[in-house]
Structures are given as structure tokens and as C-alpha cells.
């Protein structure tokens, strides 16, 4: 499969993750009195990854996340030379999803994009008022374990058909833990999409939600390689 087609799959998959996950937060989390709440938003993020893993996993690997791509490269599961194409596709997909969500959300009277628009934040912009340090540590640890889940469930020794279920449920658990802390990123593209439209503080604090997930992903790759009983197989370079 060509890099162009795989990047296009990453664009579509990341669009779905941001539209489905952030869309559930913006449109349905507090919908008048029967909103889905934190648990519903957490499940929505998990379902986006689960559905896309089955839809495009066989095409692009279904990374949907620059930090995951970096972590897979660090674990020698993905060629580092293809990182730029994947990351660009993921970020563009997230921004386009943010734009579509903005058009939909702004169709309701009283909508205020500056209220957050599912953006990630720390301090005064953390849902629970958590500090920069708390959010930094949470994002690093949660991303680290997300990579361990991904690497372990996709190891050739694991039941391959169930990998998307483990990864989707893993992301759901991550959101159940972390939404009150930072609104949960563990994904720089997911953070960038809404921040572009929210502007202001969301863009000013965006740096943390690039730095922390990437650090966490690399730590996850190191941790998994350290505990694996044998070397994980390197991904073969894709052929056009």
C-alpha cells in the first residue's frame, strides 16, 4: 500500500476520532438534562478508535495520533522516515474535523467557542482545576500506558483479532481517568483540532499536549521493549 493511501487513511481515521470524541463532548456531554457525561465521552473516544481499527487498521495501522506514530517508531514497529507524512495527515484530519464540528455546534443559539470547545487545558482551564505539573504527569503516564497497550495487544504473540478491542477499551479507561484533569489529550492531533478554533488560551497551552504525549509514547515504547520476552518484529517498509 502506497504511503499516499496510508496517509489518506490516517486523515480519515483521525477525522473520525476528533469528530466522534470531541463531538460527543461538545454536542452531547451536557445536552440539557440527559447528557452522556464524562463516561459517555470516554466511551465515544474508545469507540472511534475501535471502529477505525477495524476499518483502516489493515491499510495504515490506524495510528490516528502523532504520539502513537512516534512511539511505534521508537519501538521499531514503524519506519521513522514515514513519520512526517503520517503526522501531517493526522493533524490536518483533526483540524478539518474541528472545522466541521464548529459549523455544526455554531448552529445553536448561544454557542460560545471560547468556552473551551473540548480543548485540553491546565490550571484555570483544567476541568478540575489541576495544575500544569499535574496535567503534565497525567498526560505522560496515560500516554505511556496507552503505548504499552498498543504494543502488547498488537504483538504477534497476542490474539490479533482482539487488538482493536483492547486498544479501544484502553482509550476509554484513559478518558475515565483523565477527563477531570486535562480533558485528556494523549494525542497531539486531537488537541490541535479544537484549539485552532477555540484560539486564545487553548493555543497558548497546546505545547503541553504535544510535549507530554510524545514523551509518554517514547517511554511506553522503551518499557514494552524492556519487558517483552523477545524482540518485537520490525515493520517491513511499505511497497508502493
Supply the CATH number for residue 97's domain. 1.20.1080.10
Q: What is the pLDDT of residue 229?
A: 66
**Residue 85, C-alpha cell as written in the block:** 507524512
Neighbouring C-beta atoms of residue 229, cutoff 10 Å: 6
Could you report the per-residue pLDDT of 46-96, keeping only the tens digit for each?
999 999 999 999 999 999 999 999 999 999 999 999 999 999 999 999 999
Task: Report which of 177, 175, 173, 170 is spatially closest to residue 190, judged by C-alpha positions.
Answer: 175
In a domain, 14, yes or no: yes
In a domain, 235, yes or no: no
Give the list of residues 6+ apart from residue 6 with CB closer than 8 angstroms, or none.
59, 60, 61, 82, 85, 86, 238
In a domain, 145, yes or no: yes
In a domain, 234, yes or no: no
In a domain, 27, yes or no: yes
In a domain, 239, yes or no: no
What letter would DSSP give residue 26?
I
In a domain, 240, yes or no: no
Q: Is residue 237 packed enough to be buried (19+ CB in 10 Å), middle (13-18) or exposed (0-12)? A: exposed
Which residues in the chain land under pLDDT 50? Answer: 232, 235-240
- Measuring CA to CA, how many Å separate 222 from each of 151, 152, 227? 11, 12, 9
In a domain, 233, yes or no: no
Q: What is the pLDDT of residue 230?
A: 60
Q: What is the pLDDT of residue 231?
A: 52
Note down the domain range covering 162. 3-108+117-227
Q: What is the pLDDT of residue 240?
A: 36
Where would I find the H helices in the chain? Answer: 3-23, 37-60, 66-74, 83-105, 132-153, 163-182, 188-198, 201-204, 208-227
The total number of structural domains in the chain stands at: 1
Amino acid at each position: 500500500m502506497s504511503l499516499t493511501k496510508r496517509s489518506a487513511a490516517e486523515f480519515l481515521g483521525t477525522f473520525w476520532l476528533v469528530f466522534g470524541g470531541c463531538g460527543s463532548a461538545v454536542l452531547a456531554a451536557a445536552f440539557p438534562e440527559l447528557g452522556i457525561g464524562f463516561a459517555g465521552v470516554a466511551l465515544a473516544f474508545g469507540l472511534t478508535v475501535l471502529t477505525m481499527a477495524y476499518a483502516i487498521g489493515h491499510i495504515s495501522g490506524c495510528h490516528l495520533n502523532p504520539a502513537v506514530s512516534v512511539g511505534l517508531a521508537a519501538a521499531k514497529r514503524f519506519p521513522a522516515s514515514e513519520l512526517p507524512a503520517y503526522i501531517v495527515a493526522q493533524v490536518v484530519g483533526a483540524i478539518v474535523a474541528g472545522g466541521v464540528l464548529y459549523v455544526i455546534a455554531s448552529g445553536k443559539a448561544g454557542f460560545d467557542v471560547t468556552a473551551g470547545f473540548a480543548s485540553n487545558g491546565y490550571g484555570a482551564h483544567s476541568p478540575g482545576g489541576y495544575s500544569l505539573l499535574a496535567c503534565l504527569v497525567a498526560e505522560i503516564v496515560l500516554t505511556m500506558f496507552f503505548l504499552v497497550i498498543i504494543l502488547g495487544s498488537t504483538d504477534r504473540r497476542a490474539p490479533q483479532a482482539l487488538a482493536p478491542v483492547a486498544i479501544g477499551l484502553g482509550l476509554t479507561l484513559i478518558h475515565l481517568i483523565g477527563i477531570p484533569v486535562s480533558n485528556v489529550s494523549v494525542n497531539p492531533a486531537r488537541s490541535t483540532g479544537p484549539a485552532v478554533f477555540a484560539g486564545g488560551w487553548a493555543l497558548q497551552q497546546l505545547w503541553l499536549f504535544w510535549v507530554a504525549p510524545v514523551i509518554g509514547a517514547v517511554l511506553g515504547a522503551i518499557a514494552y521493549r524492556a519487558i517483552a520476552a523477545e524482540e518485537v518484529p520490525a515493520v517491513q517498509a511499505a511497497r508502493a
